[in-house]
Copies of this chain bind each other. A is one copy, B any other.
Amino acid sequence: MAEILDAAWSLARSNGLLSFSLRDLATKVGMQAPSLYQYFASKDDIYDAMFRQGAVECLAEVGVDAAAPDRREAFRQSARRMFDFATSDPVRAQLLFQRTIPGFEPSAESYAPAVEMVEGMRALVAAHGITDPDAMDLWTAMIGGLVAQQLSNDPGGSRWARLVDRTVDMFLAEMDPDHDEAPQRKGQTR
């Protein structure tokens, strides 16, 4: 079952998330297509398992410790981790964030880790005294925007990766202009 999932990821990465077939998938794990139905009820059920797996990975890799002392560093770290997670596997990002598969909707259980991620970000924002009600929406738009540009216009490169820290600084300056001591910039350290 884990083997089937691994093979599904592999095929999705080479053939495309929508284009891989159950026949190919079965062949890859040394089965015939109908045998897959012992493990998954449908192709969408496979997508759901993949989604869940990706969401769990996201939670594990991107989790932020809201207790970090330095605010700027905490937000930069959160942004970088999310950016790196999303851009390191375009197919996974397409499944988790782009949601372009015709009939598929993730089940509530599979979606749960994503909800937890949002809660984590909300906690980070609150822990550092940011009260702006639009903070979360601005944050998701900015980080998601960087990710999308990187994936579609410079896959594998760093054209937008270079701008992550700078974008975080813009965000913090906007949230709380008074407490924002001048960041050291030009020359993101990555």
Q: Across the interface, name the chain B residue whose C-beta is closest to A15.
A: B102
Assess the A102–B16 pair: CB atoms within 8 A. Answer: yes
A173 — which chain B residues lie within 8 A by C-beta?
Answer: 170, 173-174
> Within the complex, which residue of B19, B94, B163 is in contact with A137, where a contact is CB–CB below 8 Å?
B163
Pick the interface stretch among A29-37, A60-68, A140-148: A140-148
A181 within 8 A of B: no
A163 — which chain B residues lie within 8 A by C-beta?
Answer: 134, 137-138, 141
Binary per-residue interface labels of chain A (63-107) against chain B in the complex, 1 for a CB within 8 Å, 0 otherwise? 000000000000000000000000000000010001110100000
Assess the B149–A137 pair: CB atoms within 8 A. Answer: yes
A158 to chain B, nearest CB (A): 11
A38 within 8 A of B: no
A123 within 8 A of B: no
Cα(A134)–Cα(B149), bound, Å: 13
Cα(A170)–Cα(B170), bound, Å: 7
Cα(A99)–Cα(B141), bound, Å: 19
Contact A140:B149 (CB < 8 A) given known A102-B18, A170-B174: yes
Q: Across the interface, name the chain B residue whose C-beta is closest to A169.
A: B174
Cα(A171)–Cα(B174), bound, Å: 10
What are 14 A-B pairs at a CB distance below 8 A?
A16-B102, A18-B102, A134-B162, A134-B166, A138-B163, A138-B167, A141-B146, A141-B160, A141-B163, A141-B167, A142-B167, A145-B145, A166-B174, A170-B174
